[in-house]
Structure 1
Amino acid sequence: MPKIGMEPKRRRALIDATIAAIGERGSIDVTMSEIAGLAGVSSALAHHYFGAKTDLLQATMRHLLSELGADCRAALAGVTTPRQRVSAVIAVNFSEKQFRPDIIAAWLAFYVEAQRSAATRRLLRVYARRLHSNLMSGLTALLDRPAAARAAEGIAAMIDGLYIRHALKDQPPDAAAAIALVEDYLETRLQDAGAPR
């Protein structure tokens, strides 16, 4: 029987172990036994808390979305201009907490899984809508709405693309270079439109 009060800690340990296991394997082709072993619990306890592996994977993805959302809200709390707002959204996606090998591998695995899982696809749509909304909240003050939407789509594509590229590299992620590349794209869009910066 699980110990009283341990459920939140063990659920979090299993989610962290899922991220680590996906990071090591590079795919979601991991077993509940492997995940449970990394979390230091039995497979039976992992199944008790999450049921099937698909339930644990969904909980892990919701956790990643929640963490990214909280980090984004914190990053936006201190900004005062629309331009700073867009930069904060870009930077949070490449923060030390978010842009690390195991998290990158998990996102890539979830993108692949979304091809066969409607639930995963729905969660990725939530992520895409949030990112678009956060970018648009700054961009619409800098560009007309159609240009802002195009810039937001381009920035989102670059963020996703840089995650994919870094997932395939055998070297640590370079957050500063990734941010600089996306910021350069944004500056080009703003200059082309004659927008205030």
Structure 2
Amino acid sequence: MPKIGMEPLRRQQLIQATIDVVAEVGLQGATINLISGKAGLSSGIISHYFGGKQGLIEASVRHLLDQLKDSLLSQVSHGNVSPTDRLMAIIDSNFSPFQRSDSATKTWLCFWAQAMHDNELRRLQNVNSRRLVSNLRFSLKALMEREKAEQIAQYSAALIDGFWLRSVLSESTAQKFDQASRFCKQYILDMIEQHGAANHV
């Protein structure tokens, strides 16, 4: 009989092991045996908790998405956050230490590549993209016209994704991530200065 309360712990162990193994050997090389061995658990428990490797892969993507969401919430949940500060927090969450870690970056890249061939991973990636644009748009709408906020939200999301990818592929990753974050923030600040309602009254 499994101990009561062990399932959440074991599920998290397997998810973390999946992220680590995918980072080491890629998605195709991440076998059930490698993942369970990394977690120090039996391979059969993957089927028990996740229904198989595919279910575990999808749960791992959701974990990465949750980490991104939680990073933002931790910065803005205390209230009295201005729209501009919230926009800066969105960028910080996308370039957080976790999102720039070796295991997370390699795993994200593997998931993105596989999403072209996997409907559920594609759906999860679309959720991620829509959430980023929605978060940006929400704060920008408080600062400028709706149509302009929509446009800048789309551009900003593309910049964030593009600079994140370039940083991952850079040989000087830490420096590139810091630079990318600054560039994205400066773009948004420039757009607020140029199109903000306060400048057109």
Q: Same fold (TM over 0.5)?
A: yes
Report the counterpart of residue 168 of structure 1 in structure 2.
169
Is 1:101–1:173's contact at 8 Å kept on the other side of the alignment?
A: no
Matches of 1:154 and 1:22 in 2, distance apart? 30
User: How far 1:171 moved relative to its partner?
Assistant: 4.0
Q: What amino acid does structure 2 have at the position aligned with 1:117?
A: D
Report the counterpart of residue 65 of structure 1 in structure 2.
65
Report the counterpart of residue 179 of structure 2 in structure 1.
177
Change (3 A) 1:52 1:149: same
Matches of 1:67 and 1:53 in 2, distance apart? 21
Q: What amino acid does structure 1 have at the position aligned with 2:187?
A: Y
Deviations along 1:16-39, one digit per CA (max 9) or x if unpaired, are 0111112223x3121111111111
Matches of 2:125 and 2:190 in 1, distance apart? 28
Deviations along 1:100-149, one digit per CA (max 9) or x if unpaired, are 12111222222111111111111112112211121112101222112111
Matches of 1:170 and 1:24 in 2, distance apart? 18
Change (3 A) 1:24 1:169: farther
Report the counterpart of residue 151 of structure 2 in structure 1.
150
User: 1:183-194 maps to which residues of 2 (within 5 A)?
Assistant: 183-193=185-195
Report the counterpart of residue 41 of structure 2 in structure 1.
41
User: How far 1:66 moved relative to its partner?
Assistant: 1.7
Task: Among all aligned residue pairs of Structure 1 and Structure 2, give the percentage whose two residues are the same amino acid.
Answer: 38
Deviations along 1:43-86, one digit per CA (max 9) or x if unpaired, are 22223222221110101111111222122112112452111111
Is 1:108–1:167's contact at 8 Å kept on the other side of the alignment?
A: no
SS in 1 for 2:174: coil
- Between 53-62 and 159-168, the greater mean CA deviation after superposition: 159-168
RMSD: 2.0
User: How far 1:4 moved relative to its partner?
Assistant: 3.9
Matches of 1:102 and 1:163 in 2, distance apart? 14
Q: State the number of aligned residues.
A: 196
- Between 173-182 and 115-124, the greater mean CA deviation after superposition: 173-182
- Between 50-59 and 94-103, the greater mean CA deviation after superposition: 94-103
User: How far 1:12 moved relative to its partner?
Assistant: 0.2
Report the counterpart of residue 138 of structure 1 in structure 2.
139
Normalised to the residue count of structure 2, the TM-score between the two structures is 0.87
Change (3 A) 1:176 1:166: closer
Report the counterpart of residue 14 of structure 2 in structure 1.
14
Is 1:115–1:121's contact at 8 Å kept on the other side of the alignment?
A: yes
Greater relative CO (CA pairs within 8 A, separation 6+):
1
Could you tell me which runs of 5 or more consecutive residues in structure 2 were left unpaired when the two chains were aligned: none
Is 2:18–2:60's contact at 8 Å kept on the other side of the alignment?
A: yes
Change (3 A) 1:8 1:82: same
User: How far 1:160 moved relative to its partner?
Assistant: 1.4
